[in-house]
Amino acid sequence: MLADIITLFPEVVNVPLGSSIMGRARDKGLFQFRVHDLREQGMGKYRQVDDEPYGGGPGMVLRPEPIFATLEPLRTPQSRVLLMTPQGKPFKQEDAVRLSKEEHLIFLCGHYEGVDQRIVESCVDEELSLGDYVLTNGAIAAAVMIDAIVRLLPGVLGDDESAVQESFGESGLLDHPHYTRPAEWRGIKVPDILLSGDHGKIAKWRKEQALERTKANRPDLLEGK
């Protein structure tokens, strides 16, 4: 998979996508990313990329010309252009799964009051948001979404089954509690069933715990089930 990220803040994505699992995936050739500084296509002496909104109002809006000049050479028939914006559809695990099957993703990172609507209408395939809150820039959202997508690619994780068994996996439930050594820490013991060696009972316990955790923390995930 290839990901192109268009942003005013390249450093926001370069570090997380070059580290840990993402970095190893890149080293193994499973994933490649390119970061494009939007200001390189800025206009005039000061490389301007934004301007005041027509009709008045606070803030600035990203102009269409620098975005198009950066985006258009990257696009191919296989590309899918994603705009990071608070106005977008909430990004969910099912979106990560769906997008992990794409060959080429282009992440357009909004900033200021957003991007000129003409870019949205003519160049963007999908508008996505991390949630019901506003970030300082879309590059943060892009880094998070790319991480969620790339870790689903075959060979990226040491055990491909772990991507299925985690929260929001095939069950649609939150993940169950996890424990490791020591068996007792500060007077708190690991549940006896996990030490029993009975894999059938352990699987049943984990499913029950996942259901209870989902009821407590994310009851919305159970709606319609």
Q: How far is CA 97 from CA 43, 92, 196, in A?
A: 38, 9, 35
Coil, strand or helix: which one is 80? strand
- Residue 130 in marked binding region: yes
20 C-beta neighbours (distance < 10 Å), count: 10
Contact 38, 49 (CB under 8 A): yes
Q: Is position 133 annotated in a ligand binding site?
A: yes
Residue 88's SS3 state is: strand
CA atoms within 13 A of residue 59's CA, in its CB half-sphere? 11
Rounded to the nearest 10 degrees, what angle do helices 10-17 and 138-150 cross at? 20
Residue 172, pLDDT score? 85
The fold for domain 2-150 equals: Alpha/beta knot (3.40.1280)
Give the Cα separation of 168 and 152 in Å (integer).
Answer: 12
- Report whether 49 contacts 62 (CB < 8 A): yes
Radius of gyration of the chain (CA): 21
110 in a known ligand binding site:
yes
Q: Tens-of-pLDDT digits for all 225 residues of the chain?
A: 999 999 999 999 999 999 999 999 999 999 999 999 999 999 999 999 999 999 999 999 999 999 999 999 999 999 999 999 999 999 999 999 999 999 999 999 999 889 999 999 999 999 999 999 999 999 999 999 999 999 999 999 976 556 655 656 567 899 999 999 999 999 999 999 999 999 999 999 999 999 999 999 999 999 876
User: Given this model, what pLDDT does residue 169 score?
Assistant: 59
Architecture of the domain delimited by 166-222: Orthogonal Bundle (1.10)
- Integer Cα distance of 138 and 13 in angstroms: 10
In this predicted structure, what is the pLDDT of residue 185? 97
Whether 187 has a binding-site annotation, put simply, is: no
pTM of the model: 0.89
pLDDT of residue 171: 77
Question: Is 132 annotated for ligand binding?
Answer: yes
- Domain spans in the chain, listed from the N-terminal domain onward: 2-150, 166-222
- What local confidence, expressed as pLDDT, does residue 224 receive? 74
* Residue 122, C-beta contacts closer than 8 angstroms, at least 6 positions apart: none
- pLDDT, residue 158, reads 77
Answer positive or negative: Cα dihedral of 206, 208, 211, 212: negative
pLDDT of residue 163: 64
Q: Do the annotations mark residue 29 as ligand-binding?
A: no
Is 134 part of any known ligand binding site? yes
Cβ–Cβ under 8 Å, residues 177 and 210: no
